[in-house]
Chain A
């Protein structure tokens, strides 16, 4: 490629010298292209153009070609699909920032730096197209939603620290709960830089060795254009791809951004996000008070139960002992009767006698005629002399 640096020490106020030079100059085609590009770069380092999309096509899944046109003119543009906020289609009104240049072979085009739908209708249409595409991919499936930790300990917060959303969110959090570690990545929440900054913040939190318990992405309400970043493919995919559970709250009334649809949970406003995230300490304190009463009741019930059981044991023991004593008494009485029946006196009363020889009761063995025995009857005691003995 030729260089014309030696020919180009020119500034605007030295224009006449340039035109004199150009008049006499014969350029090669390459030199002309380079010269024109330098001129363009000088005059239009960047230009923003709005118009209707036409002939949109993607080559090799990467390169993006389209025209922008209005009633009178049409201009070619060139970029990459990575710059797209989502699928775009012919007829859509867009706003493109880019660098105009003359390609050595393919002619004039504007190299895209940033592209976004312009106007309510186009923004809505672009969001619908993207939503359809991502829905088909399953990004918004209910089955992907994870429960949020409640309450979380560490929160990764992605918002603008200047915003009312930030002030509201932290204020409500503070009023409701304490002991939270909030890590803030300050991002722009609208404008060209917003998308990249938000995506990078989500990635940063996810890349931490110990990521937070939850990511909160939030901003207050605004026009469709203000909120466009939250319906871009990049931000929506970043939210859907986060391994840390996500809560997205974009404060607006009518439409829900795609990032919210992709989040594990959405909230209607930044304040609502804080309310969903943590309980209210006043409610928890009341519950704790209740718990304490219940603790007393439960423990008391347990003691009461034990006391009742003890009483029952005592009653049983008392009854048992009385029963045992009664039983024993009866038994002893029976024994006494039996004993009474077996006593020698009772036998004597029935007419029997005890015969004793020399003080010892005898059964008759060894008795001899003439011996004196002592005879005991029930009602008399006498001595007798043995006259006759018959052996039995």
Chain B
């Protein structure tokens, strides 16, 4: 099965982690800014995914015994 779409679950998890990291007390400014940029990029990717991704339906035949 060709993977034409990004893996939504992976990206979503990455975003969650960034949000958590950003909320922690020991995050440095440089890191916070970098996390912010990554987070924005991920939300954009996820939005694109939701806007464009189509469902594909393939018909299979069950094995004949």
Contacts and interface: CB of A to CB of B under 8 A. Distances in A.
B22 A151 contact: no
B62 A201 contact: yes
Given A178-B49, A201-B62, A288-B46, A302 B55 contact: no
A285 B59 CA distance: 31
Interface residues of B, number: 38
A204 B43 contact: no
Contacts of A178: 5, 49-50, 52-55
A204 to B, nearest CB: 4
Given A178-B49, A182-B55, A303-B29, A151 B62 contact: no
Contact of B8 (A179, A291, A306): A179
Given A178-B53, A302-B29, A185 B62 contact: yes
Contacts of B59: 161, 183-186
B57 A295 contact: no
Main secondary structure on chain A at its contact with chain B? helix
A167 to B, nearest CB: 12
A174 interface: yes
Interface in A145-196: 149, 151, 153-154, 161, 170, 173-174, 177-187
A188 to B, nearest CB: 12
A321 interface: no
Contact of A179 (B15, B27, B55, B57): B55
Interface in B30-53: 32-33, 35-36, 39-40, 43, 46-47, 49-50, 52-53
A180 B56 contact: yes
B27 to A, nearest CB: 6
Contacts of A284: 46, 50
B49 A179 contact: yes
Given A285-B47, A306-B29, A299 B54 contact: no
B8 A151 contact: yes
Interface in A299-342: 299, 302-303, 306
Interface residues of A, number: 41
Contact of A173 (B15, B28, B55): B55
Contacts of B43: 288-289, 291-292, 295
A385 interface: no
A296 interface: yes
Contacts of A285: 47, 50
Contacts of B58: 181-184
Contacts of B7: 153
Contacts of A8: none
Given A178-B52, A291-B19, A299-B22, A183 B60 contact: yes
Given A291-B19, A295-B36, A299-B33, A181 B54 contact: no
A342 B59 CA distance: 109
Given A186-B59, A292-B40, A295-B40, 11 more contacts: A151-B8, A154-B1, A181-B55, A200-B62, A200-B64, A291-B15, A298-B19, A298-B36, A299-B32, A303-B29, A303-B32
8 contacts: A151-B9, A178-B49, A178-B55, A203-B62, A204-B63, A210-B1, A295-B39, A306-B29
